[in-house]
Structures are given as C-alpha cells and as structure tokens.
Amino acid sequence: MKRHLTELFTQALSQVAPDQSGVAFEISRTKQVQHGDFACNLAMQLARPLRGNPREIATRLLAALPTSPHVEKTEIAGAGFINLFLTAEAKQLVVKQVLAQGEDYGRSNLGNGLKTQVEFVSANPTGPLHVGHGRGAAFGMSLSNVLSAAGYDVAREYYVNDAGRQMDILALSTWLRYLEWNGVHLAFPGNAYQGDYVRDMARLIHEAHGDRYVRQRDEISDRVPPHEEDADGHLDALIANAKSLLGEDYAYIHNFALTEQLGDCRNDLTEFGVTFDSWFSEQSLFDNGLVARIVATLEKHGHLYLQDGAKWFRSTHFGDEKDRVVQRENGLYTYFASDIAYHLNKFERGFERVINVWGADHHGYIARVKGALTALELDAERLDIALVQFAVLWRGAEKLPMSTRSGNFVTLRELREEVGNDAARFFYVLRKSDQHLDFDLELAKSQSNENPVYYIQYAHARICSVMGQWGGDAAELTGAETGALTGDHELALLNLLGDYPGMVESAARELSPHLIAYYLKDLAGEFHSYYNAEQFLVADNDVRMARLALVTAVRQVLHNGLTLLGVGCPEKM
C-alpha cells in the first residue's frame, strides 16, 4: 500500500513541480488513528525549492492526486502534512495477500541481488564461546536472514584468527597442562588460559601420545627464568622456549588446540542455529603472500614510513587518531596488517558490499581499516560496520562474570541449556545492537506476558489451537470474504499485517533486526487483545471465515518474522 501511495504522489508531483522529480519524500504510518492511516510529507519537502507555503503546495498536490479505489479521503494537517484515510476494503486486501504468498510474504527485491558478505562472531578460537559472543552470533545471523529476505545475495563468513600470539598462548597453556598429566609440574602463568577445557585437551593428548611431548622441568625453567615484573614477557619467553624444545612437534600441539576449539565453536553455533557459508583462515593470508603484498603496495604509494625499525601506516591521514604499525622491527606483521589483507581479499572475491559485525570495543578500529582501504584505492563506503555491545548476564541481582583467559565465565552452551535457544536468540536481538543489553535469566525462563518471546510464541500457539478447534482446511480461507473485518481490533491487525514488508525493508536498510522483534511484540499484543475481546468460531459463516482468515494471516506473519530471528514457532505451549 505504501508503494501504491508513493506512485500516486509521484504522479501528482510530475504535475505540480515537474522539475522537482528527484525530491525525496516519505509515506509513513500515522501515530494516531484519528489522523488517518498514512501521512505524506511531500508538500513540506517542496516548500524550499518552490519557495511556497507547504499547506498551499499540499492543496495543489491533492488537486493533482490521481483517484484511487483504496483511498477514502485525504486531509491537510499541521504545517503541511497530507493525511490519507484508506477504505476498509483496502485494508482487508492484506489478508488475501498474506495467505497467497505464505512464507514469501515480506520478502522483496530491495537489495536487487547485490553480492553482500556478512562477517560475524570471528572470536579467537582460544576457548568456548561465552554469552558475550552469543549476542554477535544471534545478531549476525538474524541480520543475514533479514538482508536475504530483502533481496540481497548474502554470504555468511567466520574469520578464523588461527595465526598470532593468542593461539600461541593457548598452545603453551595446553602443553603445560599436558606436562602436568605426565608428572612435570611448573608454575602455571596467571596470564595463560586457565579453563578446564585446557586440561581436557591436555588429557586427550596424553591419552593419545603418552609422554612423546614431555620435556623435563629443568630444560624449561633453566631457559626461562621467572619475570615477576613482566608477565607478558615471561609468557612470550615460555612460548619461544616451547617452540625451541618441541621443534616440529610444536605444530602438532598448536594445531590440536586450534582444531579442538574451532570444532567446539562450530558445533556450538550450529546447535544455536548459526551457520556460515565459509570459515576463512587468517593464516592463509600469510601463506599466499597477501599480507606482504599489501604492505609493499602501501609502501610503494607512500602510505608507510620507517620509525624505530618498524613500518608505520599513515592512518592519521585518513581520520585515525594516530598512525599504526603494520610490520614490527623484528619483521613480524601486526594484526592490523593481516586485517587490511583480509578486507582486500573480500573485495577481490567479488563482494560488492561488506558488513562487519564487531564488538563495540572495536569502534576505534573503523577509521584505520577504512583508511587502509582508501589507501589501496578501494571505495571504503562499500564497508559497513555494525557494532555490538556485549551482553551482561544477570541471575536476579547477581552479575555473572565473563573472562575467557581466567576461565571464569558462562559459556553460550550453558546459557542455551538453561533458557533454550529460542529465548537466547530473541533476547539477544531485543535491543539495538549498539545499545547495552542486560540479559535477565529469570525473565527469559518465565512463562508470562512479561517474557516477550513467550508472549509471541503463545500468540502463534493460540492461533494453532483455534484452527484445531475449527478443524477445517486452512486452504479454504484463501477465498474467504473479508468484508466483515471492520472492528477496531481487526482494523489494527490489518494495519500491522500491511506494515510487515516495510518493516523487513527498514530492518535491512538500517542493519537493525531488532525492529522485527519490536514489530512481533506489537503484533502478538494486538492479537491477544483481539483473542480476549472476540469469539472466532461464531455461528455466522461469513464472519467466522473472515476472522479465521485474519488470524491465519497473523500466524503466518508471526512465523515469517520469528524465522528471520531464528526463533521457533510452537503449535502447543
């Protein structure tokens, strides 16, 4: 209907101000029913270029507005808004539309098949995913689903940080625990990985290989004296010593730890309904020479300089707060260098749009990455960053910890086991992604109207119950006459059903799947009010069939929206 109204005003614009055909205007749902169904701001948008009074321009637009069987009346309001009142028949059309399109209702061609990559989660595979990672996973998957529904050609990717210091720390942690299994006890560094999962990996290596990777205590402690005032330096020395003592066997420990944690991560996410089209290895960027190539390219074009033996990228030239090292004095490349290479690789693979889902603590990273793309003569506007605040988990008044390195955290798997996948997926996207999220465990488990996912799923189950009591074939409802749908609750539901396709497009444009969550709460709330106010299985056949068609359409839209968010649609509760 919004598209139809937009076409009407576009035609009126061509008559009133043909030289202003490119002016942007909006058709928006009114906030109060007495102001009609939709409002158009075209007259106000034309006021400046036409140097006229908006209300006078609105009068001219209405005179040129083509007649429509769907518009009952129009009025000029306020400073120059044009309010439009639809006929009851126009509102009722949506029921047949929903029933005819089924699962396709709400899908559009907004994205026109644009090849789009969404990269999300991408947590270091150094331990189980915790509840903070869960929000990025739920958001990224829901966003991908919304973009697909809006006509984008979406590829989902997980960037595996399988190179660098964090993986070395995990490998060292695993080896030290393995030595303990073999009776070799050393002071375990406080800044190594402490979790029980490290002991589990060490036990598996011990069971499979016995003492093959054992080195004696003196070999280790004599080479690496304690560094009480330099914990990181001590850890790096232990890593270097482990590589030296183990030789080629170090690669086995490293790869075993990586494979175990990555496999656990993949299984956890799959069980959560989060899947990826590709898992991209950071190490591959070094192996294929791309990191070295981008550093050489930046240097060739004068974007690097040498200072204290290190190569620095002039990121301040592109809006960053300070310049950044891409290659250290020891020749090793930084994480930033591999990140530049990774983003170049994305565009070299043919993606026309790239969306990164990052933790909010990476906000300062945006300028330097976009600056590097600009320096490589790529259009940085093709990169969008969606920031996600970590979730804070509460059990009553108790705030639960989330520190991966210390091993003191609640895993995503534990959260899912306690509240269920549906509640976890919905609660994670219930707020705008860059807003703080307090995850209330007790609320998520409750079976009450205060629990939004329960409230929405209960609406779906209630409709299934009504349809079961009726016992007819839902296919019959596609031909039902809807003229009897004139009550306040019915008209409100019809309006909401008509808003759904536009809501999906808005969520895609704004990278905001929480809009779907809000919408579903409103739709469920209006249905529950309708359910409590009216009987559906009434004696009058026309009224009965019209109401059943309406609630079936509501059930379909609830299903479509919940599916985008990765939430189930139970038929009984």
Q: What average pLDDT does the segment 422-429 reach?
A: 97
pLDDT at 79 over 70: yes
Grade residue 168 by pLDDT with cuts at 50, 70 and 90. very high
Rounded CA separation 23/10 (Å): 10
- In angstroms, the CA 296 to CA 522 distance is 55
Instruction: Give the model confidence (pLDDT) of 179-189 as tens digits.
Output: 999 999 988 99
> What local confidence, expressed as pLDDT, does residue 37 receive?
94
**For the chain, how are helix, strand and coil distributed in percent, rounded to 5?**
55, 15, 30
pLDDT value at residue 138:
98
| Predicted pLDDT at 33 | 85
* Close Cβ partners of 478 (under 8 Å, ≥ 6 residues apart): 96, 99, 100, 549
Query: Which residue in 562, 339, 346, 330 sits closest to 458, CA to CA?
Result: 562
Which of these ranges, 262-276, 430-444, 454-468, has the smallest mean pLDDT? 430-444
Q: Residue 365 has which token pair?
A: 């990273």
Residue 405 has pLDDT above 70, yes or no: no
Q: How confident is the model at residue 225 (pLDDT cuts 50, 70, 90)?
A: low
Looking at residue 402, its pLDDT comes to 59
Is the per-residue pLDDT at 403 higher than 60? no
pLDDT tier at 295, thresholds 50, 70, 90: very high
Task: Give the mean model confidence (pLDDT) for residues 244-259.
Answer: 96
Distance from C-alpha of 492 to C-alpha of 28, rounded to nearest angstrom: 16
Question: Where do runs of H (alpha helix) occur along 398-451?
Answer: 412-419, 421-428, 441-445
Predicted structure pTM score: 0.92
How far, in whole angstroms, is CA 53 from its chain's centroid? Answer: 44
Tell the burial category of 300 from Cβ atoms under 10 Å away from its Cβ (0-12, 13-18, 19+).
exposed
Query: Mean of the per-residue pLDDT values for the chain?
Result: 94
For residues 125 and 161, is the Cβ–Cβ distance under 8 A?
yes
The candidate with the shortest Cα–Cα distance to 553, out of 507, 493, 502, is 493
Interval 479-538: pLDDT, tens: 999 999 999 999 999 999 999 999 999 999 999 999 999 999 999 999 999 999 999 999
Tell me the C-alpha distance between 112 and 51, whole Å.
37
Mean pLDDT throughout 275-281? 98
Q: Specify the amino acid at residue 379.
A: D
Element at 268 (helix H, strand E):
helix 249-271
Instruction: Please determine, for residue 226, whether its predicted confidence score (pLDDT) is greater than 80.
Output: no
Query: How far is residue 532 from each of residues 173, 462, 526, 528, measured CA to CA in Å?
Result: 60, 11, 10, 6
Residue ranges of alpha helices (H) inside 17-130 are 42-50, 54-64, 88-101
* Contact between 133 and 123 (Cβ < 8 Å): yes
Dist. CA 566–CA 560, nearest whole Å? 10
Domains of the chain: 2-86 (3.30.1360.70), 88-161+276-281+389-573 (1.10.730.10), 165-247 (no CATH)
Q: 15-73 pLDDT, tens per residue?
A: 999 999 989 999 999 988 889 999 999 999 999 999 999 999 999 999 999 999 999 99
What percent of the chain stands above pLDDT 70? 97
